[in-house]
Structure 1
Amino acid sequence: MEDVLIFCMSVLEILTDPHPLLHQPADEVVDFNEQLQELVNNMIHTLREKGFDGLGGLAAPQVGVLQQVFVLILPNQDPIIVVNPKVISTSGGTSKAWEYCYSVPGKRGRIRRHRKAIIEFQNQFGNKQKQEVADFVGRMYLHEIDHLGGILWTDLIEGEGDVMTEAQWREARARKRSGDKE
């Protein structure tokens, strides 16, 4: 009889700050086995089930697993699975933009990040890859890579005006869209 692997997907609990695991560096993945596949599948399932609007990222430390793995879900694309990422180079200067994190619910932070980066990583099967990332997607990669180093956006705040509650951020965004600068 043939062996068949059946994964029962679970919605994982997302840890929130100040949980200590969020502030610890993750270990490099060395075993590209069924447990890794199950973790990746559960992370993707968690993002989808929690209704993150077809856009989001989740790093393994956010679900209590100290391994260098993250997943990204972007509109109209298959999930992106990144294992053992390394930033090889950056270019294009830096910019500040507002970020949200599932581990810091109810708040937004304006964070300075590189505009472009070249990332080397492995996929969930251990195959090496290299990719240039930029703009919003690049920001997502760098945000998740920070999680793997035990860094949250709250560690990167440069000034008092760089943090807002979700309600303040939505209000400011609505004012900006309507042309009201106050």
Structure 2
Amino acid sequence: MTEPREIIQLGNPVLRETAGPVENPLSESIQTLIDDLIATGVAANGVGIAAPQVAQPYCLLVVASRPTLRYPHAPFMEPTPMLNPQIISHSSEVVKGWEGCLSVPGIRGLVPRYQSIEIEYTDRFGEIQRKELTDFVARIFQHEYDHLSGKVFLDRVETSLDLITEQEYQKLLIA
């Protein structure tokens, strides 16, 4: 049975550890973790989640862009599990955008990210995939990819002046 897992919060040392590779993508434990990550992201209104956020030290993330209260203008895509992902190349263009994190509740930051990236990853069936991601979906991937090396979006914010509360962010969406 797929169950949402507890999302660990900033301050938990596991969130700052480097994740290890997924050795057997087809193992029952990894397949269960994938399903649990998808369920956890949906339950928390997230558009992405990484295994370290549920205290699992694996190079595994899910990109699941869809409109939510937190991201009302997000494009829709099926939740996509990505095992052992890598950024192969990226655009020279960097764009700042607002990000929040399920592990850092209540705060938003204006974070610079590559506008487009080419990635490679293993899918849940053990097949190698290569894709180009742009705009918001590229931002989600880069945000989740950071979790695999123990980083959170706060580490990417250029100045504390680029931080606001979730409440103030919601006012920006209405304006």
**Fold-level similarity (TM above 0.5):** yes
Corresponding letter in the other structure for 2:57: L
Whole-angstrom CA distance in 2 between matches of 1:74 and 1:86: 19
| Partner SS state of residue 10, structure 1 | coil
Kindly state the Cα deviation for residue 166 of structure 1 after the two structures are TM-superposed: 0.6
Corresponding letter in the other structure for 2:39: H
Indicate the residue corresponding to 2:169 in structure 1.
169
Task: Work out which of the two has the higher radius of gyration on C-alpha atoms and give 1 or 2.
Answer: 1
Q: Alignment partner for residue 56 of structure 1, among 47, 53, 57?
A: 47
| Partner SS state of residue 136, structure 2 | helix
Q: Alignment partner for residue 11 of structure 2, among 10, 18, 31?
A: 18
Q: Deviations over 1:34-84 (max 9, x none)?
A: 11000001111112233x1xx510100000001000112233532111010
Q: Deviations over 1:18-39 (max 9, x none)?
A: 1111111100111121110000
Whole-angstrom CA distance in 2 between matches of 1:64 and 1:92: 33
Count of aligned pairs: 165
Indicate the residue corresponding to 2:158 in structure 1.
158
Whole-angstrom CA distance in 2 between matches of 1:153 and 1:49: 21
Corresponding letter in the other structure for 2:54: V
Indicate the residue corresponding to 1:39 in structure 2.
33
Q: CA RMSD in A?
A: 1.3
TM alignment of 1:73-152, pairs within 5 A: 73-75=64-66, 76-152=76-152
Kindly state the Cα deviation for residue 92 of structure 1 after the two structures are TM-superposed: 4.2
- TM-score normalised by length of structure 2: 0.89
Whole-angstrom CA distance in 2 between matches of 1:116 and 1:77: 17
Instruction: Determine what percentage of the aligned residue pairs are the same residue.
Output: 34
Structure 1 segments unaligned to the other structure (5+ residues): 1-7, 178-182
Q: Alignment partner for residue 69 of structure 1, among 46, 51, 60?
A: 60
Whole-angstrom CA distance in 1 between matches of 2:166 and 2:41: 19
Q: Deviations over 1:93-143 (max 9, x none)?
A: 101110010000000010001111100111012210100011001000111
**Structure 1 segments of 4 or more deviating over 3 A?**
none
Whole-angstrom CA distance in 2 between matches of 1:28 and 1:71: 15
Whole-angstrom CA distance in 2 between matches of 1:47 and 1:94: 26
Whole-angstrom CA distance in 2 between matches of 1:15 and 1:156: 20
| Partner SS state of residue 105, structure 1 | strand
Whole-angstrom CA distance in 1 between matches of 2:170 and 2:43: 23
- TM-score normalised by length of structure 1: 0.86
| Partner SS state of residue 81, structure 2 | strand
Distance 1:172 1:70, change over 3 A: same
Distance 1:30 1:19, change over 3 A: same
